[in-house]
Amino acid sequence: MDLRDLTTHFEENDFLFEEGDTGDCAYIIESGSVELSIDKGGRILVIATLGEGDVLGEMALIDKCPRTATARAMEETNTIAIPLDYIEQKIDTADPTVRLFLRLVMERYRDIHARLSHVLESMSPSREKTSKDKINSASGEIENIMTQYMDMQKRINSALSLSTFKATKSSLGEETIKSTRKLVTEEKILKAALENEEFCVHYQPIVELESGKTVGCEALVRWNHPSGKLILPSKFIKKAEVSGLIIDLGYWIAERACQFQARLSREFEQPLFVTINLSGKQFDDISLIKTLSDIMDKTGVDHERIKFEITESLLLDNPEIAGKTLHRLKETKAKLAIDDFGTGYSSFSYLHQFPFDTMKIDRSFIGTMLQDNKSNEITKSLVNLSHDLGMNVVAEGIGSGPEVELLRGYQAEFGQGFYYSKAVAEDAFIKLL
């Protein structure tokens, strides 16, 4: 993916868009200048001249109404084009309060625009002779509306500026433009990777400690980069979350993992489960439960052989909403695990409110329990706590035989770690079995 993909070039007098068009992108001006005008019964009224760093065309993307002005390049102009689906996804996954505020702002913005059009209309030369008084009162009204408009822009600007905001030529600040460009670019690259099927899913065995038998596996995503490197999730999951692409990527992973479980059920007699990681961002997607349920149905897996892993931090951010979603997820008959347990500094008192089947004890405890008595004691307590709450345990990051011995002594049921195997591709996993 090339950075220049985002740059759109316009010659002098080219139109970026025209009044009435449907909006498919917004623009940040990198160089050059653009004139915004509206057509009032044949009279062209210039409403603004925009330069380097200014943004235009964003309104039509936010509320999907037609363009309310025409934008024309006044000289050779380069812009960064921000596509509609990029903004759409951002809005879809934004905090509901932010969405509400955005809607209110848009309503007021459009209202000001409508009032302005109305006043201009009343001054139109096509109407019967407009009296001097009428023109005067109309000019006063326009001034009034424009002052309100400028005030609103100022307030929005200061509300959205970071404390590090540095004023530049533009109303946005260089930092904001740079980071927007970076985000749009990164998302474009990840999206292309998803479309080009560059992602793949590897599976790490989950083993019954007592018998040493593999009873399931965890699906872990990887990126087969065109450079030939296999990129680990720590390098891209955060970006996918920030950009909102985790929603589509998450469904893609879930589908692959369910297909794999269906294959395991066909090829092996013993029941094997597959676990799927869900990120907090996916919980903001209102169709999460329905879509996951559809994926399980479509792939023909036994829902009880699918387990969703949710990290403790997700519960801390918004326990009430997370709780409701988890209970609905549980109604699909899939199992639930709390992941990386022990790292979230949370109180244990809330745990019983959530319908978890499994606790995954974070590998930071398992990896140090042989040397550090505190880790050892914490691990033992967590196993007991899980059992008291009716959950079974997976010890993560097992690296040696003596760790297995200790964990067996605590009656921990399952384990996972490089001692058994790292995550491997589908066929390699089948061979391991």
Rounded to whole angstroms, the Cα distance separating 318 from 346 reads: 12
Q: Is 399 in the site for ligand C2E (CB under 6 A)?
A: yes
Strand order in the sheet with 77-83: 7-10, 77-83, 25-31, 55-56
Q: Are 412 and 393 in contact (CB under 8 A)?
A: yes
Binding window for ligand C2E (CB under 6 A); candidates: 172-180, 371-379, 383-391, 416-424 = 416-424
Q: Is 340 in the site for Ca ion (CB under 5 A)?
A: yes
Choice between 285 and 396, CB closer to Ca ion: 396
Q: Taking the complex as a whole, how short is the minimal distance between the CB of residue 95 and ligand C2E, in angstroms?
A: 19
Segment (H or E) for 7 = strand 7-10
Q: Is 309 in the site for Ca ion (CB under 5 A)?
A: yes
Contact pattern for Ca ion over residues 379 through 418, marking x by CB under 5 A = -----------------x----------------------
Choice between 35 and 339, CB closer to ligand C2E: 339
341: which strand partners? 361
Choice between 35 and 241, CB closer to ligand C2E: 241
Binding window for Ca ion (CB under 5 A); candidates: 8-16, 20-28, 303-311, 398-406 = 303-311
Choice between 54 and 309, CB closer to Ca ion: 309
Cβ neighbours for 147, distance < 8 A, ≥ 6 positions apart:
none
Choice between 141 and 340, CB closer to Ca ion: 340
Q: Is 280 in the site for Ca ion (CB under 5 A)?
A: no
Q: Is 385 in the site for ligand C2E (CB under 6 A)?
A: no
234, 347, 349, 371: which one binds ligand C2E (CB under 6 A): 234
Q: Taking the complex as a whole, how short is the minimal distance between the CB of residue 8 and ligand C2E, in angstroms?
A: 33
Burial tier of 347 (Cβ tally within 10 Å: 0-12, 13-18, 19+):
exposed
Rounded to whole angstroms, the Cα distance separating 386 from 409 reads: 15
Rounded to whole angstroms, the Cα distance separating 433 from 424 reads: 12
Question: How many other CB atoms are there within 10 angstroms of residue 79's CB atom?
Answer: 26
Choice between 27 and 365, CB closer to ligand C2E: 365
Per-residue CA distances from 232 to 212, 223, 339, 362 (Å): 27, 7, 18, 19
48: which strand partners? 36
Distance of CA 48 to the CA centre of its chain: 34
176, 277, 332, 386: which one binds Ca ion (CB under 5 A): 277
**397, interface contact from Ca ion, ligand C2E, none, CB < 5-8 Å by kind:** ligand C2E
23, 32, 244, 417: which one binds ligand C2E (CB under 6 A): 417
Q: Is 216 in the site for ligand C2E (CB under 6 A)?
A: no
Rounded to whole angstroms, the Cα distance separating 72 from 121 reads: 23
Binding window for ligand C2E (CB under 6 A); candidates: 43-51, 209-217, 219-227, 425-433 = 219-227
What DSSP designation does 65 have?
P
Q: Is 395 in the site for ligand C2E (CB under 6 A)?
A: no
Q: Is 285 in the site for Ca ion (CB under 5 A)?
A: no
Binding window for ligand C2E (CB under 6 A); candidates: 48-56, 137-145, 172-180, 415-423 = 415-423
Question: How many other CB atoms are there within 10 angstroms of residue 51's CB atom?
Answer: 14
Q: Taking the complex as a whole, how short is the minimal distance between the CB of residue 219 and ligand C2E, in angstroms?
A: 6
Q: Is 209 in the site for ligand C2E (CB under 6 A)?
A: no
The closest of 212, 284, 198 to 247, measured between CA atoms, is 284
**232, interface contact from Ca ion, ligand C2E, none, CB < 5-8 Å by kind:** ligand C2E
Q: Are 268 and 433 in contact (CB under 8 A)?
A: yes
**393, interface contact from ligand C2E, Ca ion, none, CB < 5-8 Å by kind:** none
Residue 276 corresponds to which tokens in the numbers above? 């799927």
The closest of 69, 47, 48, 74 to 58, measured between CA atoms, is 69
Choice between 103 and 408, CB closer to ligand C2E: 408
Rounded to whole angstroms, the Cα distance separating 7 from 416 reads: 47
Rounded to whole angstroms, the Cα distance separating 270 from 216 reads: 10
Q: Is 279 in the site for ligand C2E (CB under 6 A)?
A: yes
Residue 318 corresponds to which tokens in the numbers above? 């918004």
Rounded to whole angstroms, the Cα distance separating 322 from 283 reads: 7
**248, interface contact from ligand C2E, Ca ion, none, CB < 5-8 Å by kind:** none
**Contact residues for Ca ion, defined by CB under 5 A:** 277, 309, 339-340, 396
**Contact residues for ligand C2E, defined by CB under 6 A:** 204, 219-221, 232-234, 237, 253, 277, 279, 339-340, 363, 397, 399, 416-418, 422-423
